[in-house]
Amino acid sequence: MFSSQPNHARFLPLAQLHTLVAKLMQLAYQCLGPAVENGAIVMRELDAPDGLPRGLQAEQSPGRYRLTRDPLNRYFAWANGPQAIKPQAFAPKESLWRVERDDAGALQFAAVEAVAPAQAIIGVRACDLAALALQDAHFLSAGRRDAHYAKRRELLFLVAVQCAEPGATCFCASTGDGPTPTAGYDLALAELAEGFVAVAGSAKGGAVLDALNLSPATPQQIDAARQQGQAAAAAQTRSLPGRNLREALMSRLEHPRWDEVAARCLACGNCTAVCPTCFCHAEADEPALDGQSSRHERVWDSCFGESHGYLHGFNVRSDIRSRYRQWFTHKLATWHDQFGRSGCVGCGRCIAWCPVGIDLTEEVAALTAGVQP
Amino acid sequence: METPKPRVAVHKFSSCDGCQLALLNLGEDLLTLAERVELVHFAEAGPLDPDTEVDVAFVEGSVSTPEDIERIQHIRQHSRLLIAIGACATAGGIQALRNGADGAQWIAQIYSHPEAISSLAQSTPIASHVKVDFELWGCPVSGVQMLAVVNSLLLGVAPRDNADKVCTECKRNGYPCVMVSRGIACMGPVTRAGCGALCPGLGRDCYGCYGPAENANTDALAAQFASLGLTPLDIVQRFQSINSQAPVFLAAADKLRMRGDG
Amino acid sequence: MSAPPAMDSGPPHAASVVARSQESPTIFTLKLRLDDAAAQAAYRFAPGQFNMLYLYGVGEVPISIMTDPEARDGIGHTIRAVGRVTRGLAALQPGDRVGLRGPFGRGWPLQEMGGRDVVLVTGGLGCAPAVSVIHYVLRRRERFGKLVIIQGVKHADDLIWREQYDRWAKLPDTQVLVAADEGAALWPWHVGRVTELFDLARFNPARAVAMMCGPEGMMRVTAEHLLARGLPESSLYLSMERNMQCAVGRCGHCQFGGAFVCRDGPVFNWGEAKTLLAHRGF
């Protein structure tokens, strides 16, 4: 978010943060920001321009997430919560099309258009933006553009923030995706003691920033923000090897570690639900009770579920070992074939939100031990 | 297109009636349903004709008395399809807790005239006695599930069996995992979906009322419960609740007991 | 390999059952026609491609197209009644309505077959995705060398299209080898593993194209045999089956390594698939 371009960065004093939210609300965006629910920081609609909470923070470790207070009472000193952008662009449940059946049995099909509000999400992270770029590559690629995703996606306004306080489960520095946002945002903020260094990343972000009539950020402020990002990267305690793991993992498909991790894995699919890049979804019909119409729905699905590998009378992946291996090798190995990079952006959600605390970075280390870097 | 309406009966065995209530509470949908099927026997709603031939019999409750054994045979013989609904009918229900205890002693302690009680030593699911065409798990089952089953039957196909974990519904609903955020012992990761993750949605732990999911890794969950601070007895009791006799939950509890933990 | 553009990933198109035949106690064939005459007239597919068939209120299933691409008497699908949708489809009669999306995926390598021997090895209902190749070759017989059709079934009763195998067996330059693990009275073919027939197959490995469809274990053994006989790996193809719900490479169920079977397959060259096929669970 820091370039050498003069005056690209502005300074938004703490006391004026509400003017940014007010501007977005004035532009008819439904504004989502951090809120506490069920003991976690989630993204929920803000009811007023000054509705952003201060001092939220959470401690994260494998299988554990606990709210704490930020002693400095900052707005964004929390690392990511269980979800950020994914549910807003790739809806957990939506209707794709519907069919009417008349008394003679004739069928009439019609697409169902996505009903999506224009949403501004305030507080997305660099890892989330990197993940969104992958979801875009999947759902918007030429020849198979997903109309529902496309509609939601184009209505998003993304206000990113630089991570100053990574969670213990974070490793975005090692995947090259954070902690400072570099692309994919409309606006990006870096929170300093007295206010925010703010930069625009899109024309619509630029228009919002211009409308706030802010002074340019000083070189000292920009430098402080840059150093804050470097410190946050240095503070990360987990990492993935900074190389393509494809060959290393695909040459270890019968490694005993798969059995060992399968014994611990619940196959609950939580890792896939919180993973910001996972895109699997199931399709199913929901017929109306009067027998005259049916909706064809899609819902988030998981390769840890029973029906994922089901085909015509048998299951390709009936045991937990093969399901874990499918997820893991897709995310870290064969994702390269499909998208030209790994499917992991280092957000650490699969580690924190695994109910039994399976640590992806630890599994990588165990599976690739002895492989030449 | 006009075919005769399927004849449907709803029977009750040893149960609390909660699953029948799931049907009764459907409101307007129940009226639509009544137009598409002929409800010939549904005591809770009015129609009484327990002995007639039907296309579909929904059976709530467990087999728990000598009379139940005869009655379920009779129902099976007079029903084209038999669908067991709810934890009692699919796993024996809460009353199956007596299966591992001295039931006669309990009766003697509770009732002033124990000789008036005629019950079997074991409370058993319907499938232990007759062929069951489909099982709908839950305590109680949900109206949405009931409608989906009826809808499938009206379309002439088998109902969709969803044995995935509660977690799948929990995450689709956007609920943060309470086991992770609050450290409470949630049964969601080994329990069948179908309830819409009702308890986690209210910040509570799932207590397994929909019975075991497919590939339920009870060992791993029990180990995690222990590291959350549950005693071995606590953990056994998590598995020995509404679906105590469901084979997967019973085996998980027995394993803990055999280790001497519980 | 040919892949005409798919119709779309949107709602299915209304279609009607124009003919239904029972092939075995559990296998049946539905011939379908799109209700929109213009869409039906414009409908083209390549052998090896599949359609998504929709049963009202129940859902969709991927089914390969078994008719000849030039046949005009309906789009044929041979189906085994095994799941919710296929059992429901089994109850349909001529005049009943369904939805149809397709065709999808990459078909058999027809362009590479010209002037070469064509060997088809199929198991069970794996004959259905491959039969359109047989029709294709027979209709243009002079363009190809020998035609070898090898089909294996578990039980004699599982063999469908018996009269067709009999008819094909009588054609010049055409060899038909059928085996059932378990025979039955009046079973005219081999009793035993289909692999036991491989040595009888007469073709020139150096100038043959081989195609396989069936259980993965059978295909692995078949591949070993064909490669050992000198068939170059680049001349060996297989059609794969995975869970397919969207058919356009989006829903993720059919991922096989880095490939989406629905879009990048279902036909693969052996070299593309062999590594993962060696492991269960992909």
Residue-number span of the structural domain to which A24 is assigned: 9-234
> Does residue A70 belong to any structural domain of this protein?
yes
One domain, residues A95 and A17: yes
Give the Cα separation of B167 and B145 in Å (integer): 17
- Under the banding of pLDDT at 50, 70 and 90, the label for residue A2 is confident
Task: Report chain A residues whose CB lies below 8 A from the CB of C252.
Answer: 279-281, 301, 303
Does residue A273 fall inside a structural domain?
Answer: yes
Q: Are residues B14 and B131 in the same domain?
A: yes
Q: How many beta-carbon contacts under 8 Å exist across B and C?
A: 19
Least trusted range by pLDDT, from A102-111, A351-360, C55-64, C66-75: C66-75
The answer to whether residues B171 and B56 belong to one domain is no
User: Could you tell me the pTM of the whole model?
Assistant: 0.95
Full set of structural domains in chain C with CATH: 13-104 (2.40.30.10), 110-277 (3.40.50.80)
Whether A373 shows a pLDDT value over 60: the answer reads no
Is residue A218 located within the same domain as residue A291?
A: no
Question: Is B25:B143 a contact under the CB 8 Å cutoff?
Answer: yes
Mean pLDDT of chain C: 93
Residue C57 is predicted with a pLDDT of 96
Strand partners, C214: none
Q: At what angle do helices A320-329 and A257-264 cross, to 10 degrees?
A: 110
- Give which of A133, A201, A135 is closest to A162, Cα–Cα: A201
pLDDT of residue B161: 92
User: Is A356 within 8 Å of A262 (Cβ atoms)?
Assistant: no
Check: complex ipTM more than 0.90: yes
Q: Is residue A168 part of a domain?
A: yes
Q: What pLDDT does B14 receive?
A: 96
> CB A199: neighbour CB atoms within 10 A?
25
d(CA A159, CA B80): 60
Q: Where are the alpha helices (DSSP H) in chain C?
A: 37-42, 84-90, 127-139, 162-169, 216-228, 261-264, 270-277
* Among B154, B183, B206, residue at a domain's last position: B154
* Beta carbons of A301 and C99 less than 8 Å apart: no
Asked if residue B82 and residue B183 are part of one domain, the reply reads: no
CB atoms under 10 Å from CB of C2, counted, come to 17
B27 occurs within a structural domain: yes
pLDDT single digits (tens) B6-17: 999 999 999 999
Number of domains into which chain A is organized: 2
Tokens linked to C151: 């089909």
Gap between the Cα atoms of C26 and C79, Å rounded: 8
A touches which chains (3+ CB pairs under 8 A)? B, C
Enter the tokens of residue B100: 């591992």
Task: Please tell me whether residues B142 and B211 are part of one structural domain.
Answer: no
> Based on the domain organization, do B144 and B219 belong to the same domain?
no
Task: Tell me whether residue A3 is in a domain.
Answer: no
Name the residue of chain B whose CA is nearest to A281's CA.
Answer: B172
Q: Name the token pair of A143.
A: 């020849």
Question: What are A315's strand-pairing partners?
Answer: A310
User: Which of B148, B180, B219 is opposite residue A352, by nearest beta carbon?
Assistant: B180
Q: Find the domain containing B137 and state its range.
A: 7-154
Q: How far apart are CA C243 and CA B5, in angstroms?
A: 35
In tens, the pLDDT along A287-321 reads 999 999 999 999 999 999 999 999 888 899 999 99
CA distance A325 to B226: 27
Q: What letter does residue B65 receive in the DSSP assignment? A: S
What is the 3 state secondary structure string of chain A? CCCCCCCCEEEEEHHHHHHHHHHHHHCCCEEEEEEEECCEEEEEECCCCCCCCCCEEEEEECCEEEEEECCCCCCCCCCCCCCCCHHHHCCCEEEEEEEEECCCCCEEEEECCCCCCCEEEEEECHHHHHHHHHHHHHHCCCCCCCHHHHHHHHCEEEEEECCCCCCCCCCHHHHCCCCCCCCCCCEEEEECCCEEEEEECCHHHHHHHHHCCCEECCHHHHHHHHHHHHHHHHCCCCCCCCCCCHHHHHCCCCCCHHHHHHHHCCCCCHHHHHCCCCCCEEEEEEECCCCCEEEEEEEECCCCCCHHHEECCEECCCCHHHHHHHHHHHHHHHHHHHHCCCCCCCCCHHHHCCCCCCCHHHHHHHHCCCCCC
Question: Could you give the 3-state DSSP secondary structure of residue C267?
Answer: strand
What's the pLDDT tens digit per position in B39-84?
Answer: 999 988 888 888 999 999 999 999 999 999 999 999 999 999 999 9
* Six-digit token string for A139: 């759902």
B137-172 residue pLDDT tens: 999 999 999 999 999 999 999 999 999 999 999 999
For residue B41, give the H/E element and its range. Answer: strand B38-42
The CA-based angle B75-B79-B84, given to 5 degrees, is 70
Does residue B260 carry a pLDDT above 80? Answer: no
Could you give the number of structural domains in chain B? 2
CB atoms within 10 A of CB C210: 28
Last residue of a domain, one of B154, B177, B192: B154
Interface of C with A in 201-240 (CB under 8 A): none
Q: Is B101 exposed, middle or buried (0-12, 13-18, 19+ CB in 10 A)?
A: exposed
Q: What's the confidence (pLDDT) of residue A260? A: 97
Residue A281 bridge partners (DSSP): A300
Handedness of CA C26, C28, C34, C35 (dihedral sign): negative
Co-location of A284 and A175 in the same domain: no
Q: Which chain C residues touch A99 with a CB distance below 8 Å?
A: 11-12, 54, 56, 99
Confidence of residue A193 (pLDDT cuts 50, 70, 90): very high
Give me the phi and psi of A48, to 5 degrees please. Answer: -150, 155
- Nearest to residue C101, comparing CAs of C2, C246, C250? C246
Listed by number, the residues of chain C in 142-161 with a beta carbon closer than 8 Å to a beta carbon of chain B are: none
Residues B77, B36 within the same domain: yes
Mean pLDDT rounded to a whole number for chain B: 94
Whether residue B42 sits in one domain with residue B145: yes
Establish if C11 touches chain A: CB-CB under 8 angstroms: yes
Domain boundary among B154, B176, B193: B154
Is B220's CB within 8 Å of A300's CB? no
What residue type is B140 in one-letter code?
Answer: P
The HSE-up count of residue A242 (CA atoms within 13 Å, CB side) is 6
Which pLDDT does position A372 carry in this prediction?
56
Integer Cα distance of C217 and C245 in angstroms: 24
Q: Is C261 on the interface with B (CB under 8 A)?
A: no
pLDDT for the residue C8: 62
State the sign of the Cα–Cα–Cα–Cα dihedral C134, C136, C142, C145.
negative
CB C93 within 8 A of CB C20: yes
In A279-308, the residues whose Cβ lies within 8 Å of chain C are: 279-285, 287, 291, 294, 296, 298, 301, 303, 307-308
d(CA C62, CA C49): 10
Assign C235 to helix, strand or coil.
helix
Interface contacts A/B by beta carbons within 8 Å: 132
In-domain check, residue B160: no
Within a domain: B114? yes
Quote the CA–CA distance of A153 and A119 in Å, as a whole number: 9
Residue A1 forms part of a structural domain: no
Crossing angle of helices A257-264 and B218-227, in 10° steps, is 70
Asked if the structure places residue A355 within a domain, the reply is yes
Looking at the fold, whether B185 and B82 belong to one and the same domain comes out as no
Nearest 10 degrees: Cα torsion A327, A329, A331, A337: -130
- Distance in angstroms (rounded) separating the CA atoms of residues B189 and B181: 15
Contact B150 A353 (CB under 8 A): no
**Contact between C83 and A312 using a beta-carbon 8 Å cutoff:** yes
Q: So what's the pLDDT on residue A9?
A: 95
Cα–Cα distance for residue pair B223/B229, rounded to 1 Å: 10
Confidence of residue B2 (pLDDT cuts 50, 70, 90): low
Residues of B in contact with C91 (CB under 8 A): 156
Phi, psi of A346 (to 5 degrees): 75, 20
Q: What is the pLDDT of residue B219?
A: 97
Residues A126 and A182 in one domain: yes
Contacting residues of B for A359, CB less than 8 Å apart = none
Is B159 within the bounds of a domain? no
pLDDT at B17: 95
Mapped onto helix, strand or coil, the DSSP state of residue C101 is: strand
Cα-trace Rg, chain B: 19
Residue A68 lies in a domain: yes
The verdict on residue A254 lying in a domain is yes
Burial of residue C260 (CB within 10 Å: 0-12, 13-18, 19+) is buried
Interface touch B157/C88, C-beta < 8 Å? yes
Domain final position from A234, A264, A280: A234
**Tens digit of each residue's pLDDT (9 = 90 or more) over A146-156:** 999 999 999 99
Kindly state whether residues B141 and B209 are assigned to the same domain.
Answer: no
A108 closest CB neighbour out of C14, C86, C279: C14
Question: Do B125 and B66 share a structural domain?
Answer: yes
Beta strand spans in chain C (E)? 13-22, 27-34, 50-55, 59-64, 75-80, 97-104, 117-123, 147-155, 174-182, 190-191, 208-213, 236-239, 255-256, 259-260, 267-269
CA distance B159 to B144: 12
B240 has a pLDDT exceeding 90: yes
Q: How confident is the model at residue A6 (pLDDT cuts 50, 70, 90)?
A: low
* Chain C residues with CB-CB distance to B152 below 8 A: 58, 84
**Closest to A216 measured CA to CA, from A3, A4, A12:** A12
Q: What 3-state DSSP class applies to B86?
A: helix
- Do B118 and B244 belong to one domain? no
Task: Give phi and psi for B134, each to the nearest 5.
Answer: -160, 145
C1 pLDDT more than 60: no
- Burial class (CB within 10 angstroms; exposed 0-12, middle 13-18, buried 19+) of C55: buried
Instruction: Check residue B192 and report its DSSP letter.
Output: B
Res C5: pLDDT:
42
* Residue A289 CA: distances (Å) to CA of A101, A103, A202, B141, C154: 12, 15, 47, 18, 42
For residue B165, give the DSSP letter.
B
Task: Tell me which of A234, A259, A287 is where a domain ends.
Answer: A234
